[in-house]
Structure 1
Amino acid sequence: MPSRNHLDKIGRKKKKKWTEEAMEHALTQVKSGRYTVRQAAKEFGVPKSSLGDRVSGRVRPGSRSGPAQLITSADEELLVEFSSYVSKHGFPLTKRQLVSFASSIYKRQHRRVAFSKLGQTWWLNFRKRQGKNITVQAADAGARRARKVRVAKEALDYFFRILNSVLEAHALADKPQRIWNCNEVAFQLARKRATPPKSAARGCQSAPAFKDRVSVLACLNAAGADVPPFVVYSKAYPGGLCYKTRGPSSALYGCSDSGRVTSELFKKWFLGHFLLHAPKERPLLLVFDGHKSPLNLEVVETARREGVVLVCLPPHCSHLLQPLDAGLFPLIKRRFAALSGDADVTLFAVSKKDFSGVFKGAYQVTREDEGIGIVKESFRKCGLYPSCHFPLNRERLMSLQNTDAQPGDATAPNGVVSLALPGMSA
């Protein structure tokens, strides 16, 4: 990976002193027969070899010098515009995320390439080309660590400015059926087996054999309606098809190594499930924790095309802003524990194969008056509908005014290296 010093040395090399316009005039005169290559090069001040390459056809007119550009100028503009959109909706991109999205564009153009060629060299050159269009904001590590314990008031202010501007721009302030929230809840499963007793007096003991994790991505709106859940198993699907036939109606299923919703699974859910079951009225607002489920470039492009506005919750604030965490998920877990015969709501003695059947009974609460009422009240408490910047205890807030940030820095509330257009407002 080349260093900055190496790239600076390359940048200090002798640059061309002629313009493309002069080269075009010289090429026109040579092709018309008025000048020879030597005469035209001298008359218009362009290199004779470069002009000769264009006359012979070895180099196409307008071609840039150096190696071929990995991402076209049009796609670079798309990337800049994309970073502006996501920044305005609560999740500014880190350097790593932007390079990842750029790699997705590169792979889309070069489908046979198994790996991305975009690295530090591309990133630094991209920064030079797009320096007028993007601003790199340094992370404040101290503030980021502190936010894990307390909630930053600036982060909440920033989020509600975004939320209110979106609701006003799309006339959604009085349409609860179009305001959606999706969130992930985890179920830790433990199978138990009998272990041989160490002595006859102690008898047979029960000990955990191994644990499985199952996550459920639920999505409900401020009116209490839901999109069928997305069940994600750890490592592999259960054997047979009973997990589908016994589970909630129209539910979606997936698996990942960790049993969590990954970027690819979130894309699968959004493109093939949410858009299928969500209301046809547009626009829709989808509020979610984009920091746990990293966004996919295709998700954002499709959402904008389909009239779905994505808004991301600020990090370390989900316990205050997630409606489903506020009341529905604890109720579902209590129902699940009661149906499975467990007194503990943190560890369930249910197999992966039987999980969907038990979960179906627990998830039924979302269609009952109790569950619908809890969802509506949770949206109100979290300030999502009606939109309200609720007052918080000062002990739970943290001001960023006393951090080590330099004067004039426009650090986003997320406290990460982010990209945003200069002068961009929330």
Structure 2
Amino acid sequence: MAAYKAVKEDHMPVDRAAVTFGVPKQTLRDRVLNKVNLRAKWGKDSLFTLDKEEQLVNHLESLAQVGYVVNRAKVNVLAIELAVKLGRRNSDDKLSNFWYYAFLKRWDHRLKVIKPRALSSTPAAAMTQENIDDYYSDLNAVLEKYNLKSKPHLIYNLDETGIQLRPVITKISTSKIISVTFPNTGTIAIVACVNAAGTALPPYYVFEGKHSETNDNFMNNATAGSAYTMSDSGCVNSEVFMKYLNEHFLKFVQRGSSDNTEPILLIYDGHSSHVSLDVVQWAKEHHLILFVLPPHSPHALQPLDIACFGPFKTAFHRECKLYMEKETLTKGRIITKYKIAELSGKAYLESMTPVTIQEGFRKAGISPFDANMSLLRELIQKKTCNTEISSMTMQKQR
């Protein structure tokens, strides 16, 4: 309140008052202009202080700027993450609708609720021509703003895929039938990242297990530069993603110069683990431009999905087969988690080639930039064409 009084009563400039009293400029300006509901209660029973709640609002606005669609459930997830970080909630707590609507009311001058249009359950049908045009228009604006069209080494695509071992392989010999079984290892996540110049960062593995546990034997004979971590579910969560960015991405990313402030564009999907407040703040500090793909579109707009993951899965299963065939038929082999990095690493090197990666960026229309190269655009055009043909056929039959 001291800063507010200094501005209202002593006529101190907002910027100077914000610096003098150590409060956010925008918050003070909103209070002075009566844009904040001053009757709202921020006391000991409140989830956040006003400053911390504004931090969440700023984060939501940042997500909107990169095309991330935020609904009530995602707002609650992000709020819980912040509350856990501040020690105000446990991770398994849920926020009530009362908090959500009160939060929107307090910040209705900056947050607007828009009723979404119904989306088809079919990914290709869920994306309209208008959505694709908006995506490429935004992408083009970012590429031009940061002068990245001639810098493919600064345009990255990141995604994760899962390796799920096949349960049984049966071999038939002249004397007997032999079944080779895999232990129940679940799905092991691999985070891959490539740039438009054709460079692939080493694979990053996520094994199921306690985060505090480590077992470096998982990396036996792994591809150079490979690394791993553990998560309770074996999936990439916010904590794992931040660890990946800090310890893996930052180590291998190429800026092509000694200037660490040169902007890097990172194109990726909008999974909730990828857009936490910590991630967005980290990206700003490291001059990383986050660009989120539209919903239901990664299969057709993302270079890794278009060109790389298919050949990688094929090569991986071939490596598994070759590994087992090296043993005699009478004994057989078992593939465990300790062989995953070795076998998948060989497949990774084979599939993540410069030619394949560059082809993925080309087909996605990212580099060289060409909005008409979109695979999803082709699918929609084919769908429209087929609809027109069907309509003409029906008219002729009549």
1:288 is matched with 268
**Which amino acid letter does the alignment assign opposite residue 247 of structure 1?**
A
Write out aligned runs for 1:38-117 (5 A): 67-68=43-44, 69-110=46-87
Larger Rg: 1 or 2? 1
Q: Note if 1:362 corresponds to 2:347.
A: yes
Write out aligned runs for 1:403-418 (5 A): none
Q: Distance in 1 between matches of 2:367 and 2:222?
A: 31
2:314 is matched with 334
**Are the equivalent residues in 2 in contact too, given 1:340–1:349 (CA < 8 A)?**
no
**Are the equivalent residues in 2 in contact too, given 1:264–1:296 (CA < 8 A)?**
no
Q: Distance in 1 between matches of 2:126 and 2:82?
A: 38
Offset of 1:163 from its aligned partner? 1.0
Q: Note if 1:380 corresponds to 2:362.
A: yes
Offset of 1:277 from its aligned partner? 2.0
Q: Relative to structure 1, is the Cα distance of residues 211 and 156 closer, same or farther in structure 2, using a 3 angstrom cutoff? A: farther
Write out aligned runs for 1:266-345 (5 A): 266-280=241-255, 281=260, 282-291=262-271, 293-341=273-321
Identity %: 28
1:158 is matched with 134
Q: Note if 1:216 corresponds to 2:201.
A: no
1:7 is matched with none
Q: Note if 1:246 corresponds to 2:221.
A: yes
Offset of 1:338 from its aligned partner? 2.9
Q: Distance in 1 between matches of 2:290 and 2:216?
A: 34
**Which amino acid letter does the alignment assign opposite residue 343 of structure 2?**
V
The alignment's C-alpha RMSD in Å is 3.5
Q: Relative to structure 1, is the Cα distance of residues 111 and 70 closer, same or farther in structure 2, using a 3 angstrom cutoff? A: closer
Q: Distance in 2 between matches of 1:337 and 1:144?
A: 33
Q: Distance in 2 between matches of 1:259 and 1:115?
A: 18
SS in 1 for 2:190: strand
**Are the equivalent residues in 1 in contact too, given 2:207–2:231 (CA < 8 A)?**
yes
**Are the equivalent residues in 2 in contact too, given 1:190–1:351 (CA < 8 A)?**
no
* Greater alpha carbon shift after TM alignment, 112-121 vs 175-184: 112-121
Offset of 1:380 from its aligned partner? 0.8
* Greater alpha carbon shift after TM alignment, 119-128 vs 67-76: 67-76
The structure, 1 or 2, with the larger RCO (C-alpha pairs under 8 Å, 6+ apart) is 1
**Which amino acid letter does the alignment assign opposite residue 374 of structure 1?**
T
Q: TM-score, normalised by structure 1?
A: 0.67
1:31 is matched with none
Q: Relative to structure 1, is the Cα distance of residues 397 and 97 closer, same or farther in structure 2, using a 3 angstrom cutoff? A: farther
Structure with the bigger percentage of helix: 2
Offset of 1:176 from its aligned partner? 0.3
1:13 is matched with none
**Which amino acid letter does the alignment assign opposite residue 270 of structure 1?**
L
Q: Note if 1:206 corresponds to 2:179.
A: yes
**Are the equivalent residues in 2 in contact too, given 1:150–1:397 (CA < 8 A)?**
no
**Are the equivalent residues in 1 in contact too, given 2:127–2:296 (CA < 8 A)?**
yes
Q: Distance in 1 between matches of 2:246 and 2:207?
A: 20
**Are the equivalent residues in 2 in contact too, given 1:152–1:397 (CA < 8 A)?**
no
Alignment counterpart, residue 353 of structure 1, candidates 338, 351, 355: 338
**Which amino acid letter does the alignment assign opposite residue 326 of structure 1?**
I
Q: Relative to structure 1, is the Cα distance of residues 77 and 240 closer, same or farther in structure 2, using a 3 angstrom cutoff? A: closer
2:143 is matched with 167
Unaligned runs of 5+ in 2: 10-37, 324-332, 385-398
Q: Distance in 2 between matches of 1:240 and 1:66?
A: 46
Q: Distance in 2 between matches of 1:116 and 1:396?
A: 46
Alignment counterpart, residue 155 of structure 2, candidates 170, 173, 179: 179
Deviation sequence 1:64-94 (CA, Å, 0-9, x none): 7684443222223222222111111121322
Q: TM-score, normalised by structure 2?
A: 0.71
**Are the equivalent residues in 1 in contact too, given 2:315–2:351 (CA < 8 A)?**
no
Q: Relative to structure 1, is the Cα distance of residues 209 and 274 closer, same or farther in structure 2, using a 3 angstrom cutoff? A: closer
Q: Distance in 1 between matches of 2:90 and 2:354?
A: 49
